[in-house]
């Protein structure tokens, strides 16, 4: 009797345990993240229950450090695996979440009525995206969404200051957004400006009238003002920069890429900035006739990015990037222009409020799905690092790493504000936004991600640092091993205690490399104009990299891929060191260009043929199947 009593009791207890086994849907919610009321934002109204919100769910990537180890080997010119980049499938495996995480997140979605077809995920399944009404999001995250209004700009976003997740999911979800990220993507800015007769003009607004028409060029003006407007294809790069003079200056003149080689270059566009084909053709007719008839690019839309070819909708940034990146590498087999949609509307009404988009994330997730992404991709946009939430910056940077592990070289402009706001005077904007208003320099993102190649600006012959050339030290990313020795040597040369507290001496330092960044002659909306900015330098460097890829691929070697370790360990010898100039900002004189690396011009400007010889003599592996 006794024993059966106990047996029954045991069964009962066991049965209860089964009944109570927690599932994603019945376990308790636990707080995942909360923030204080964000500065500068006003809680405007509850978010309408039926308003649709696109939730992005990041899953932890348990093997990501393994991927990083592979990347460090294949990008190290002294490693036997150098140049042997990974395939998409290999990167996807090493970037994937644990299968249990995928399963539990699916259960959670299903529990809220979301079926397989409602879920979008990235190629490694590390991000899942669902679009749901606010009322569903509020249940999933046990939170209340509000419309928040930015006090200064009137910008509206739908956000919350805290969210919870079922306890069982805490180890399986890294973050859910948009929730507590109040970053203002409107600050995403292109790093270019218009120049007028050599005067640097930072105004983007009154751009159109800074351009002069083709007719103006035919005037044989003999006064000095007009002289600068004459577009001379064979200029010497001192006051007018053209494709031809860049090719000569960077020792690539006469090099003709083989159009049959599987080589490619990509240009990114954001902020409704469209590359215009007519403008490009006219530019080439005058400055690169060989490219005028046949140069073309593929258009790729990301996140509903559009492609408007009406000339009045052309973007100067996009035109600059495409005209130089393409012009310098013609006749490359493939060129791509990515138009990425998404930025917050400035004056949306309560009813039309949209989600703030995260353009880099959208873009990089898209490119990671491509079987054959362009081997070099140039981006001339950036924003103050501190306006990008740290966890978000880290996740995006990691995505960039996934792309470089496949042999893609990512080139970013280093920004146009020197060490911060570009101003020597006292009226600087260089304060922390953490509520403490600490006076400090302003590093940029994504330039400060260690997996991208950051490009600063020079001008004139011999080359001098451009005073606006963005440079400094990230506060989010620590210094990568590849630049440790070089940068710490530089820091030892700084006057004792100078700028103490204004920058992070342990941070990833930028830029890595530089190129001309003033007086670029572009054709825009049917007229000629002169453009400056690290925006101009980035496509020029990207083009030189693409030419190097042509040389490597034609010898059966792998692409450059993640080029920074090579640049710091060997490549610097094949660069032109820039030793004059500085990048003032934040009420200081900024840093100086010096012998060797400096936070103004990086390691220097490229010498194509020297780099080519150096790369060809390194022990490069056969190309990976990208």
Ligand X SMILES: *[C@@H]1O[C@H](CO)[C@@H](O)[C@H](O)[C@H]1NC(C)=O
596 binds ligand X (CB under 6 A): no
- Please choose, out of 67-75, 470-478, 490-498, 522-530, the segment that lies near ligand X by the rule CB under 6 A: 490-498
Provide the minimum distance between the beta carbon of 208 and ligand X in the complex, in angstroms, as a whole number.
19
* Three-class secondary structure assignment of 160-188: CCEEEEEHHHCCCCCEEECCCCCCCHHHC
Q: Among residues 125 and 592, whose Cβ is nearest to ligand X?
A: 592
Q: Which two tokens stand for residue 166?
A: 């079922």
Provide the minimum distance between the beta carbon of 347 and ligand X in the complex, in angstroms, as a whole number.
4
497 binds ligand X (CB under 6 A): no
Q: Are 444 and 470 in contact (CB under 8 A)?
A: yes
3-state secondary structure of 224: helix
Provide the minimum distance between the beta carbon of 150 and ligand X in the complex, in angstroms, as a whole number.
14
Provide the minimum distance between the beta carbon of 343 and ligand X in the complex, in angstroms, as a whole number.
10
| Closest to 384 (Cα-Cα) out of 474, 510, 478 | 474
CA 83 to chain centre: 23
Residue 317 annotated among the catalytic residues of the structure: yes
Cα dihedral angle (245, 411, 624, 99), rounded to 10 degrees?
-170
Q: Are 515 and 606 in contact (CB under 8 A)?
A: yes
3-state secondary structure of 119: coil
Catalytic residue of the set 126, 321, 383, 512: 321
Q: Among residues 402 and 601, whose Cβ is nearest to ligand X?
A: 601
Catalytic residue of the set 95, 535, 537, 582: 535
Q: Binding residue for ligand X (CB under 6 A) from 82, 381, 477, 591?
A: 591
Provide the minimum distance between the beta carbon of 495 and ligand X in the complex, in angstroms, as a whole number.
5
Q: Among residues 481 and 498, whose Cβ is nearest to ligand X?
A: 498
Provide the minimum distance between the beta carbon of 561 and ligand X in the complex, in angstroms, as a whole number.
33
- Please choose, out of 101-109, 202-210, 395-403, 493-501, the segment that lies near ligand X by the rule CB under 6 A: 493-501
Cα 535 from Cα 525, distance rounded (Å):
18
Provide the minimum distance between the beta carbon of 597 and ligand X in the complex, in angstroms, as a whole number.
13
Q: Binding residue for ligand X (CB under 6 A) from 347, 351, 427, 617?
A: 347
495 binds ligand X (CB under 6 A): yes
Q: Among residues 217 and 494, whose Cβ is nearest to ligand X?
A: 494
Q: Where do runs of H (alpha helix) occur along 21-160?
A: 64-74, 88-95, 99-111, 134-141
Cα 163 from Cα 141, distance rounded (Å):
5
**Total residues at interface with ligand X (CB under 6 A):** 7
DSSP state of 263: -
Strand partners, 302: 340
- Please choose, out of 376-384, 407-415, 455-463, 494-502, the segment that lies near ligand X by the rule CB under 6 A: 494-502
* 300 marked among binding-site residues: no
Reported residue count of the chain is 626
- Please choose, out of 138-146, 301-309, 491-499, 613-621, the segment that lies near ligand X by the rule CB under 6 A: 491-499
494 binds ligand X (CB under 6 A): yes
Residue 321 annotated among the catalytic residues of the structure: yes
592 binds ligand X (CB under 6 A): yes
3 binds ligand X (CB under 6 A): no
Within residues 374-413, the interface with ligand X by CB under 6 A covers none
- Please choose, out of 83-91, 203-211, 492-500, 607-615, the segment that lies near ligand X by the rule CB under 6 A: 492-500
Q: Among residues 133 and 345, whose Cβ is nearest to ligand X?
A: 345
Could you tell me the CA-to-CA distances from 111 to 55, 139, 579 in Å, in that order? 16, 11, 62
Q: Tokens 């005077």 identify what position?
A: 425
* Three-class secondary structure assignment of 275-343: CCHHHHHHHHHHHCHHHHCCCCCEEEEECCCCCCCCHHHECHHHHHHHHHHHHHHCCCCEEEEEEECCC
| Closest to 178 (Cα-Cα) out of 344, 341, 45, 365 | 344
Say which residues have a Cβ less than 8 Å from residue 517's Cβ, sequence separation at least 6: 456, 457, 458, 459, 466, 468, 469, 532, 533, 534, 535, 536, 537
Cα 466 from Cα 464, distance rounded (Å):
6
Q: Binding residue for ligand X (CB under 6 A) from 48, 111, 221, 345?
A: 345
Cα 176 from Cα 104, distance rounded (Å):
15
Within residues 498-527, the interface with ligand X by CB under 6 A covers 498
Catalytic residue of the set 92, 126, 195, 317: 317
Provide the minimum distance between the beta carbon of 388 and ligand X in the complex, in angstroms, as a whole number.
23
185 binds ligand X (CB under 6 A): no
Cα 253 from Cα 608, distance rounded (Å):
9
Cα 322 from Cα 266, distance rounded (Å):
9
The end-to-end CA distance of the chain, in Å, is 71
CB atoms within 10 A of CB 567: 25
Q: Among residues 331 and 345, whose Cβ is nearest to ligand X?
A: 345
Provide the minimum distance between the beta carbon of 146 and ligand X in the complex, in angstroms, as a whole number.
21
Residue 203 annotated among the catalytic residues of the structure: no
* 577 marked among binding-site residues: yes
Detail the residues annotated as belonging to a binding site for Ca(2+): 577-578, 596, 598
Q: Which residues are catalytic?
A: 317, 321, 535
Q: Which residues of the shown chain bind ligand X in the complex (CB under 6 A)?
A: 345, 347, 494-495, 498, 591-592
């Amino acid at each position: 009797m006794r024993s059966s009593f106990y047996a029954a009791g045991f069964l009962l207890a066991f049965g209860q345990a089964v009944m109570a086994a927690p599932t994603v849907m019945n376990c308790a919610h636990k707080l995942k993240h909360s923030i204080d009321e964000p500065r500068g934002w006003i809680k405007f109204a509850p978010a309408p229950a039926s308003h649709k919100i696109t939730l992005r769910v990041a899953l932890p990537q348990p093997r990501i450090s393994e991927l990083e180890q592979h990347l460090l080997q294949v990008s190290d010119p002294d490693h036997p695996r150098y140049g042997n980049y990974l395939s998409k499938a290999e990167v996807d495996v090493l970037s994937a979440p644990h299968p249990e995480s995928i399963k539990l997140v699916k259960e959670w979605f299903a529990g809220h009525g979301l079926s397989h077809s409602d879920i979008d995920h990235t190629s490694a399944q590390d991000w899942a995206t669902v679009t749901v009404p606010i009322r569903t999001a509020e249940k999933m995250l046990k939170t209340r969404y509000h419309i928040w209004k930015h006090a200064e700009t009137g910008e509206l976003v739908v956000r919350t200051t805290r969210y919870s997740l079922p306890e069982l999911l805490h180890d399986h979800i890294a973050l859910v957004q948009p929730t507590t990220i109040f970053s203002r993507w409107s600050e995403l800015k292109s790093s270019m400006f218009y120049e007028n007769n050599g005067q640097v003009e930072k105004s983007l607004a009154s751009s159109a009238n800074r351009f002069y028409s083709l007719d103006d060029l035919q005037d044989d003006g003999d006064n000095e003002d007009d002289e600068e407007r004459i577009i001379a294809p064979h200029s010497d790069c001192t006051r007018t920069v053209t494709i031809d003079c860049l090719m000569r200056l960077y020792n690539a003149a006469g090099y003709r890429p083989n159009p049959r080689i599987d080589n490619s270059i990509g240009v990114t566009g954001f902020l409704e900035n469209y590359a215009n084909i007519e403008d490009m053709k006219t530019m080439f007719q005058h400055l690169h006739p060989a490219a005028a008839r046949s140069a073309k690019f593929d258009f790729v839309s990301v996140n509903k990015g559009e492609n408007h070819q009406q000339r009045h909708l052309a973007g100067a940034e996009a035109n600059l990037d495409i005209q130089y990146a393409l012009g310098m590498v013609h006749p490359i087999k493939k060129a791509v222009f990515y138009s990425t949609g998404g930025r917050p509307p400035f004056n949306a009404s309560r009813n039309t409020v949209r989600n703030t988009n995260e353009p880099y994330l959208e873009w990089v997730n898209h490119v990671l799905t491509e079987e054959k992404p362009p081997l070099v991709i140039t981006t001339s946009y950036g924003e103050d690092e501190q306006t990008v939430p740290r966890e978000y910056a880290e996740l995006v940077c990691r995505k960039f790493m996934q792309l470089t592990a496949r042999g893609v070289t990512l080139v970013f402009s280093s920004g146009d504000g020197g060490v911060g706001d570009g101003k020597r005077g006292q009226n600087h904007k260089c304060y922390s936004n953490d509520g403490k208003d600490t006076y400090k320099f302003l590093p940029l993102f994504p330039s400060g991600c260690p997996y991208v190649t950051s490009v600063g600006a020079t001008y004139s012959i011999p080359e001098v640092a451009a005073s606006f050339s963005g440079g400094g030290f990230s506060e989010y990313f620590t210094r990568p091993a590849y630049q440790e020795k070089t940068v710490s040597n530089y820091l030892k040369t700084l006057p004792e205690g100078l700028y103490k507290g204004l920058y992070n001496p342990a941070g990833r330092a930028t830029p890595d490399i530089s190129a001309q960044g003033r007086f670029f002659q572009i054709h825009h909306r049917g007229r000629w104009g002169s453009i400056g900015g690290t925006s101009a330098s980035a496509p020029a460097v990207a083009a030189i990299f693409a030419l190097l890829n042509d040389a490597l691929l034609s010898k059966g070697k792998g692409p450059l891929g993640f080029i920074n370790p090579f640049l710091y360990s060997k490549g610097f010898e094949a660069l032109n060191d820039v030793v004059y100039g500085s990048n003032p900002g934040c009420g200081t004189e900024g840093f100086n260009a010096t012998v060797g690396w400096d936070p103004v011009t990086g390691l220097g400007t490229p010498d194509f043929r020297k780099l080519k010889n150096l790369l060809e003599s390194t022990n490069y592996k056969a190309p990976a199947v990208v």
